[in-house]
């Protein structure tokens, strides 16, 4: 991430207090080093979208919408559907966000979220093909950040994942090489639930889910996405600081253990909000 002038400046007093507390394994907001902020997930809020989710992680708030259309596949991948993720930080979300096209941080955000979902193969893209090489489902995930208080990566990732899990798309029948839209809707083919965990390094401490203040003080951050089998499938590091090999191992095992906790949270909120009608994992209705 580039060093922008317009980021939160933390008071030197707060900074000193933070490092003092970190030395005692505590944080300014009272959390432990490995504690998450309160995570709330609501789904199905946008009626016109195929799927949607509103996620709040502490004061960070993100809304994601899924729109599914029929499109042509990429020429080099004729037998795969499309998945495209875009993110935008609304000017209302933070005093530092400006209107206009997404800046490099927003682009990084979209790419990191996209990578977690793509590389974990959450969506079975090969099952989104309608007519090979000609017509496939294109899944668009559009994210708007409503409020920023650090860790947009995870909040956005959970929002997109929850929205994908609850999305229902129109079913198309192929008749004589032509597509006929049916009234019926079907869920997306889901393989796994990827969970992204972002950790920051301040001094020698590694903290999970940094808030805006901690992000302003961190030396480096790392985001890891894991799948249901506990495999690390995507990673992104930011900041000028470094992680030692031991620290990387610690970070990876944290991402796996916390990831499974969060995965259960996503699963249960998706199930409860849709009255048990959430897309069942690995079962695509035909």
Partner 1 sequence: MSKRYVLPGDLIVEGNPHLKPLANVIRIGDRLHATRIGIVEISQNSVKVIPLSGIYVPRVGDLVIGKVIDYSAMAWEVDINSCFLGHLPAQDVFGKEFSPGRDDLTKRFNIGDVIACRILNFDRTRDPLLTVADKDLGKISEGEVVKISPTKVPRLIGKRGSMIQMIEQLTRCRIVVGQNGVLVVTGVNKDAVHVAVKAIRMVEEGAHTVNLTERVKEMLQGVQVGR
* Residue 3 touching partner 1 (CB under 8 A): no
Q: What is the DSSP letter of 74?
A: P
SS3 73: coil
Summarize the chain as % helix, strand, coil (round to 5): 30, 35, 35
CA distance 97 to 106: 10
H or E segment to which residue 116 belongs? helix 104-119
Closer Cβ to partner 1, 95 or 276, answer by number: 95
Question: How many Å separate Cα 285 from the centre of its chain?
Answer: 25
* Residue 80 touching partner 1 (CB under 8 A): no
Least Cβ distance, residue 13 to partner 1 (angstroms): 5
* Residue 9 touching partner 1 (CB under 8 A): yes
Closer Cβ to partner 1, 9 or 174, answer by number: 9
Backbone angles phi, psi at 247, to 5 degrees: -65, -40
Closer Cβ to partner 1, 24 or 245, answer by number: 24
Least Cβ distance, residue 264 to partner 1 (angstroms): 33
The DSSP bridge partners found for residue 199 are 208, 222
Least Cβ distance, residue 213 to partner 1 (angstroms): 11
Least Cβ distance, residue 10 to partner 1 (angstroms): 6
Stretch that binds partner 1, among 2-10, 35-43, 187-195, 201-209 (CB under 8 A): 2-10
Closer Cβ to partner 1, 21 or 271, answer by number: 21
* Residue 12 touching partner 1 (CB under 8 A): yes
Question: Applying CB under 8 A, which of residues 1, 3, 4, 15 lies at the interface with partner 1?
Answer: 15
CA distance 231 to 255: 10
CA distance 128 to 122: 13
Q: How many residues bind partner 1 (CB under 8 A)?
A: 9
**Comparing C-alpha atoms, which of 225, 52, 82, 214 is closest to residue 144?**
52
* Residue 34 touching partner 1 (CB under 8 A): no
* Residue 174 touching partner 1 (CB under 8 A): no
* Residues within the interface to partner 1 (CB under 8 A): 5, 9-15, 17
């Amino acid at each position: 991430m580039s060093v922008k002038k317009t980021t939160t400046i933390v008071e030197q007093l707060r900074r000193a207090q933070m490092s003092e507390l970190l030395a005692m394994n505590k944080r300014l907001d009272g959390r432990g080093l490995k504690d998450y902020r309160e995570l709330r997930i609501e789904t199905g809020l946008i009626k016109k979208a195929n799927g949607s989710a509103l996620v709040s992680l502490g004061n960070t708030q993100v809304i994601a919408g899924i729109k599914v259309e029929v499109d042509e596949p990429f020429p080099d991948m004729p037998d795969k559907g499309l998945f495209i993720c875009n993110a935008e930080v609304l000017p209302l979300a933070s005093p530092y966000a400006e209107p206009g096209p997404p800046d490099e941080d927003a682009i990084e955000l979209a790419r990191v979220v996209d990578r977690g979902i793509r590389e974990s193969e959450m969506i079975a893209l090969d099952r989104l093909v309608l007519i090979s090489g000609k017509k496939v489902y294109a899944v668009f995930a559009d994210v708007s950040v409503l409020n920023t208080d650090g860790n947009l990566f995870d909040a956005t990732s959970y929002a997109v994942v929850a929205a994908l899990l609850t999305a229902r798309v129109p079913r198309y029948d192929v008749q004589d090489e032509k597509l006929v839209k049916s009234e019926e809707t079907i869920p997306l083919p889901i393989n796994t639930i990827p969970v992204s965990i972002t950790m920051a390094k301040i001094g020698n401490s590694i903290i999970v889910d940094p808030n805006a203040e901690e992000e302003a003080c961190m030396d480096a951050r790392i985001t890891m996405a894991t799948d249901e089998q506990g495999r690390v499938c995507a990673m992104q590091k930011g900041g000028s600081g470094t992680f030692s090999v031991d620290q990387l191992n610690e970070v990876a095992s944290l991402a796996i253990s916390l990831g499974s906790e969060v995965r259960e949270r996503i699963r249960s909120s998706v199930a409860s909000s849709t009255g048990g009608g959430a897309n069942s994992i690995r079962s695509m209705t035909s």
